[in-house]
Structures are given as structure tokens and as C-alpha cells.
């Protein structure tokens, strides 16, 4: 009996240690209850918390809006889930972004930096997971590599993983690798910055909604 009890205790300890190890180094960016640690930049979209998710809704006539972390990050692994409630709305998540233009002052105050695309697949596939330079040069992923795909599941929650290490940025959508890009120029201009949740401007259309949950990050040395 004692041997069985010791075995049960040992197995329990192994399970606990294993679970702890899996979560080691991860930091939740969103507490599930309010927007503490986040600040809105640009635009007039509305952000709020609903059932453990951050929801963003478009505002007519508004430019792109961004809900941004107060803290900046350089090299990291970022994971989150995202859902487009309206396929007409495309979105994105900013990484290593800033409101300061490194080569002038004409864009000071405007969010700029690498963005990981969020877009409904539709019938023909789309560009979810590819990299775009928001207010800093346009597409980072070369046109020849931006092959439309259907890894993004329309109307459902989709898991994203982003690994940014030096000039290399890798992305996955629902477990499928989408992009493996090395961009030394962009790394030189944007080596670190905030994470930002984009609600894209839609002119007079809408309102449209997008939501994010389970946002967590692991910084790398």
C-alpha cells in the first residue's frame, strides 16, 4: 500500500512539474477582465472586454485604430486567438511598433511597424499571417511569397503564433507555418516596440467587429 501511495505522489509531482514547465516564461498580455496595460492609439474604433475577449468595433470615417501594450518587446514568442465576426473586415497585430518615425517627423504619432495580417479566407484564400509594414513601406513579405491560402477559418477562433528573433520573423496560423522572413532593414528601424491590435478603417461601411483572446508572450534573450 505504501509503495502505491508513493507512486501516486511521485506521478502527481511529475504532472505538476511538467505543467509548470510548459508555462514557464509566459506572460499574459490580457487579464481577461479589463484593459489594464493597454492604451489606444490613432483612430476612433471602440475596444471593450466581453466574455474574456478583447473586442474591437469599427467607427465610420475613422482611420486605422490600435489598442497597444504599454510595454515594449524585442525578441519574443507571441501567441493569441483571433476571430473576425465580419469577413469584410481585415485586421492585424502590430509587433515591434512605435509612434515615432525613425527617419523623420512626418509620421510622429502614427502607429508604424511590422504587422501580421489577419484576413478572412473567403472562397479564394487570403493573406493571413504574412507581414506588412504599417506606415513604414507596405508589404514586407515579397509578392511572390504571398500565396493566398485558407489556413484562416472564417467565422471561427484562429490561433496565431509569432516568433521574432533578430531580423527573422516566423508566423503560424492554426499550426501551419505561413511566413519565415528575414528583413534586416526593418529590424534596424524597428528592433523593439509595442504589440498592437488593429481595427482597420472601413470608410462609411460597417460597423464590423474583430476579437482577440488568450494573448500571451514569452520574451527571449
The DSSP annotation for 107-165 comes to: TTTS-BEEEEEE---TTT-B-TT-EEEETTTEESS-GGG---B--S-TTS-EEEEEEEE
Number of domains forming the structure of the chain: 1
pLDDT of residue 103: 59
39 within a domain of the structure (yes/no)? yes
The DSSP call for residue 74 is: S
12 within a domain of the structure (yes/no)? no
130 within a domain of the structure (yes/no)? yes
Q: Dump pLDDT digits (tens) for 110-146.
A: 999 999 999 999 999 999 999 999 999 999 999 999 9
pLDDT of residue 69: 98
20 within a domain of the structure (yes/no)? no
16 within a domain of the structure (yes/no)? no
pLDDT of residue 42: 93
pLDDT of residue 20: 40
19 within a domain of the structure (yes/no)? no
Cis bond upstream, residue 207 (ω within 30): yes
The overall longest dimension of the chain from CA atoms, in Å, is 76
* Parent domain of 129: 27-219
* pTM for this model (two decimals): 0.87
221 residues of the chain, pLDDT tens digit each: 555 544 444 444 444 334 444 457 999 999 999 999 999 999 999 999 999 999 999 999 999 999 999 999 999 999 999 999 999 999 999 999 999 865 555 556 899 999 999 999 999 999 999 999 999 999 999 999 999 999 999 999 999 999 999 999 999 999 999 999 999 999 999 999 999 999 999 999 989 999 999 999 999 97
88 within a domain of the structure (yes/no)? yes
Cα–Cα distance, 24 to 21 (Å, whole number) = 5
10 within a domain of the structure (yes/no)? no
User: Which CATH number belongs to the domain containing residue 204 in this structure?
Assistant: 2.60.120.560
pLDDT of residue 221: 79
Where do the DSSP E strands lie in the chain?
26-28, 38-41, 46-50, 53-57, 65-69, 76-84, 91-97, 113-118, 131-134, 138-139, 158-165, 168-173, 176-182, 194-199, 209-219
pLDDT of residue 43: 93
pLDDT of residue 12: 44
Amino acid at each position: 500500500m505504501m509503495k502505491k501511495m508513493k507512486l501516486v505522489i511521485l506521478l502527481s509531482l511529475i504532472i505538476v512539474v511538467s505543467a509548470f514547465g510548459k508555462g514557464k516564461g509566459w506572460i499574459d498580455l490580457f487579464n481577461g477582465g479589463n484593459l489594464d496595460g493597454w492604451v489606444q492609439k490613432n483612430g476612433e474604433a471602440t475596444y471593450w472586454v466581453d466574455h474574456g475577449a478583447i473586442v474591437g468595433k469599427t467607427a465610420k470615417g475613422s482611420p486605422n485604430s490600435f489598442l497597444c501594450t504599454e510595454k515594449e518587446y524585442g525578441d519574443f514568442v507571441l501567441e493569441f486567438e483571433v476571430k473576425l465576426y465580419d469577413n469584410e473586415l481585415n485586421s492585424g497585430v502590430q509587433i515591434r511598433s512605435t509612434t515615432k518615425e525613425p527617419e523623420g517627423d512626418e509620421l510622429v504619432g502614427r502607429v508604424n511597424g511590422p504587422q501580421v495580417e489577419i484576413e478572412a479566407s473567403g472562397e479564394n484564400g487570403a493573406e493571413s499571417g504574412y507581414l506588412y509594414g504599417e506606415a513604414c513601406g507596405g508589404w514586407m513579405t515579397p509578392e511572390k511569397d504571398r500565396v493566398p491560402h485558407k489556413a484562416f477559418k472564417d467565422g471561427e477562433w484562429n490561433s496565431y503564433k509569432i516568433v521574432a528573433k533578430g531580423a527573422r520573423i516566423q508566423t503560424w496560423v492554426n499550426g501551419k507555418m505561413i511566413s519565415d522572413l528575414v528583413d534586416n532593414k526593418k529590424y534596424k528601424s524597428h528592433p523593439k516596440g509595442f504589440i498592437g491590435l488593429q481595427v482597420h478603417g472601413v470608410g462609411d461601411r460597417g460597423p464590423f467587429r474583430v476579437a482577440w483572446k488568450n494573448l500571451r508572450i514569452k520574451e527571449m534573450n
